[in-house]
Every structure is written in C-alpha cells, then in structure tokens.
C-alpha cells in the first residue's frame, strides 16, 4: 500500500459543507479503490449520522472514549468496538461527549498530539484518513491539524469572509511551525455554488484575488443542490442516492483532482 494521506476538512465557520465534503470525498475515493478511514472529530456527530449511526450519543465507544484512554495512558478498546464500516470505508464516530475531551485536553501535557498518537498506529491499513472538524479553532481542530498531511478548506460563497479564512491560515502556519512541519494546504474548495448569481461571481473573484497566488483553488466546485440535504437525511452518499447528478460528479472530480495533485507532488519529491 502507498503512503497514507491524512486530510483535515477545516473551516471555523459553520455551513460550509465540511461534513458533506468529508463523507462524499471518502465515498468518491472508495470508488477509486482506495481504503478510507473517516474520523468524526466534531462533538455534533453529524458525520456519524451521515454514516448511518442514528443515535451517536448512545454509542458505547466513540472518539471521546478513545481520546480519554490515550490521555490516561489506558489501553484502547479493541478496534472492532469503535470502528464502524461500510465496504471500503471505516468510521470512528463521535458524539457530544467529545466536547468534554476538548476541555480535558487543556490540562494535558502534549495534548495537541493525542489524535496523532491514535492515527499513527492505524495508518498502515488505509490509503486516506479524512478528519471532519467542528466549526471552531479550538483544541480539537488543532489536534486534527497536528495529525494531518494537508488541510482542505471548504468555502461557501454565500457566507464568505476573508477575515475568517485569515484566522484559519494563521492557525495552520502556527501548527506548521510549532507542532507539525509536514502540514500543507491541499486547497480551497468552493461549495454550494450557484454560478449564475452575482454573489457567487463576486465571492469567487475575491477568493481568487486574496488567495489565488498562495493557495490552490480546486477546479472542482460543488454546486448548490437540495439533493445534498436529502442524501444526508437518508444517511446515503451522493454516489448512492443520486449517482448521475452534477453534485455527485463534482465530488468524483474532486477525488481525482486530489489524487492527481498527490501523484504530481510525489513525482516531484522522487
């Protein structure tokens, strides 16, 4: 198996499509014969619900238990106790208890590398590990960045704000300097795009003007579609729920774009 790539999906704004992107990117990569681990690192547990776990708060084992065990130097539960799977995709679920773990991380020596410790031991089993983060720049997001090779930043043109993105970039730079020198930005992904509107055109131009020279902006853009919410509601990926839709094709193209970019980078480094 080739080297595992760990990708964090991050933006401290809510409503940018982080969870939808994490889930559907995983499914698109799975369709390319990649083995993927999804990590729900958001106490809201939305990714776990997308995956088909109806009541994440009732789980016997979730990311909260894993983080607590790691912080207490206690043995972890057996992987099949906390890893859920669908075909080529595995998931470590989360629930509201994870917000308690975030509080405990504040007092933990080296706490920002707790997730890294877990994922390092699992890498040999996966081509990709995709981490869905909560909409904040707190210790959970820093943990995710510390464990990652790259960050994918979804941006909703209807909610776009340059200041919000600047804060996230500052955090990524700090993490790179102090904790994880290998981290890079995979790119900005435009989500919920209605390309006919002036709002979209203005926002896209601003993103290009502000960041186009320093950060890759993915060619793939995710169209605005009510079908996304429907698929999430039925705990289905877009590939299953609506295989022929434009939004499905956009996530498939994003997966290919990511893989091509990685291949090109690996070639440059060899």
Taking the C-alpha atoms of residue 117 and residue 69, their distance in angstroms, rounded to an integer, is 11
The CATH number that applies at residue 230 is 3.40.50.300
Whose tokens are 């994490």? That residue is 22
Report the run of H or E that residue 152 belongs to, with start and end: strand 150-155
Q: What is the 8-class DSSP label of residue 193? A: B
pLDDT tens per residue, the chain (270 residues)? 468 999 999 999 999 999 999 999 999 999 999 999 999 999 999 999 999 999 999 999 999 999 999 999 999 999 999 999 988 899 999 999 999 988 888 888 888 999 999 999 899 999 999 999 999 999 999 999 999 999 999 999 988 877 789 999 999 999 999 999 999 999 999 999 999 999 999 999 999 999 999 999 999 999 999 999 999 999 999 999 999 999 999 999 999 999 988 777 666 665
Exposure on the CB side of residue 51, measured as CA atoms within 13 A: 29
Taking the C-alpha atoms of residue 270 and residue 258, their distance in angstroms, rounded to an integer, is 18
Taking the C-alpha atoms of residue 162 and residue 145, their distance in angstroms, rounded to an integer, is 20
- What range defines the domain where residue 30 resides? 5-269
DSSP3 helix / strand / coil % (the chain, rounded to 5):
50, 15, 35
Exposure on the CB side of residue 207, measured as CA atoms within 13 A: 26
Structural domain count, the chain: 1
Taking the C-alpha atoms of residue 96 and residue 199, their distance in angstroms, rounded to an integer, is 35
DSSP, collapsed to helix, strand or coil, labels residue 38 as: strand
Q: What is the 8-class DSSP label of residue 192? A: S
């Amino acid at each position: 198996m080739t080297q595992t790539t760990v990708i964090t999906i991050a933006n401290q704004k809510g409503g940018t499509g982080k969870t939808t992107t994490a889930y559907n990117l995983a499914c698109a990569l799975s369709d390319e014969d990649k083995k993927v681990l999804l990590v729900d690192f958001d106490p809201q547990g939305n990714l776990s619900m997308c995956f088909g776990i109806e009541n994440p708060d009732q789980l016997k084992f979730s990311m909260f238990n894993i983080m607590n065990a790691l912080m207490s130097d206690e043995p972890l539960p057996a992987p099949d106790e906390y890893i859920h799977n669908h075909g080529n995709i595995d998931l470590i679920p989360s629930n509201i208890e994870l917000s308690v773990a975030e509080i405990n991380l504040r007092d933990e020596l080296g706490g920002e590398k707790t997730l890294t410790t877990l994922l390092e031991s699992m890498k040999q089993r996966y081509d990709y590990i995709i981490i869905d983060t909560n909409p904040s720049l707190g210790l959970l997001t820093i943990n995710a960045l510390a464990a990652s090779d790259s960050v994918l930043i979804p941006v909703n043109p209807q909610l776009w704000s340059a200041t919000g993105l600047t804060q996230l970039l500052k955090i990524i730079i700090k993490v790179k300097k102090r904790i994880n020198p290998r981290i890079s930005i995979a790119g900005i992904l435009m989500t919920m795009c209605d390309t006919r509107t002036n709002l979209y055109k203005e926002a896209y131009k601003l993103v290009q003007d502000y960041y186009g020279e320093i950060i890759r902006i993915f060619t793939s853009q995710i169209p605005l579609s009510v079908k996304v919410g429907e698929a999430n509601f039925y705990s289905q990926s877009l590939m299953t729920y609506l295989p022929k839709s434009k939004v499905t094709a956009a996530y498939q193209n994003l997966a290919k774009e990511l893989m091509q970019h990685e291949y090109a980078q690996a070639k440059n480094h060899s």
